[in-house]
Structure 1
């Protein structure tokens, strides 16, 4: 059940974040997706903070980064965008594990 949740939410995160970076999704929609996902995650009641695998680690890292940085920085900071797009590539199965990717469960 947990693996299915992460897999589903990873596909959805790829969808939302990709469209945001292409200018096809408003920031508030991305924000709502992240908070809805966190609310659903909270229903699992999992106490273990360590992700089960690298894919889940990158998932949580990307979720945190997208929520942490303000919209203007996500849109204008090219180094930040490059790092986050590397995370998306990894989640798509097309890239390598991003450097400095520290993802833990909420």
Structure 2
């Protein structure tokens, strides 16, 4: 599996989980578990790119969203409306349902 394949395979499930959490349809623990699973799958790639720069906007937004879930805890995400909007914009973009949030570009772990 290539880096591109990884992002293609995991972007929509991550986006859906974030949207479900923000809508209070799944518990935070489920979202947290998914984020750790995604990082574990990344580490299991046969060749992890050494370049930290994302290849495209989709990958950059994916990493920003995943890093945000590890940076902010459940209460911060629930309480901060700006953060919630940012996470939703990232999820919408990854699901091909919104523009690229240009201020939300992360780097590879």
Q: Which runs of 5+ in 1 are unaligned?
A: none
Residue matched to 1:5: 6
- In the alignment, what sits opposite 2:96? 93
**Deviation above 6 Å: which 4+ runs of structure 1?**
none
Q: 1:33 & 1:17 partners in 2: Cα distance?
A: 10
Aligned length: 106
How big is each residue's C-alpha offset from its partner over 1:33-82, in whole Å with a ceiling of 9 and x where there is no partner? Answer: 11111011012233221111100000000011112101011111111111
Matched, 1:57 2:60: yes
- Residue 30 of structure 1: how far off its partner (Å): 0.8
Gaps of 5+ in 2: none
The equivalent residue for 1:32 is 33
- Report which structure shows greater RCO (CA 8 Å, sep ≥6): 2
Residue of structure 1 equivalent to 2:44 = 43
Kindly report the root-mean-square deviation, in angstroms, between the aligned alpha carbons of the 2 structures. Answer: 1.2
Taking the aligned partners of 2:65 and 2:6, their CA distance within structure 1 comes to 16
TM-score, length basis structure 2: 0.89
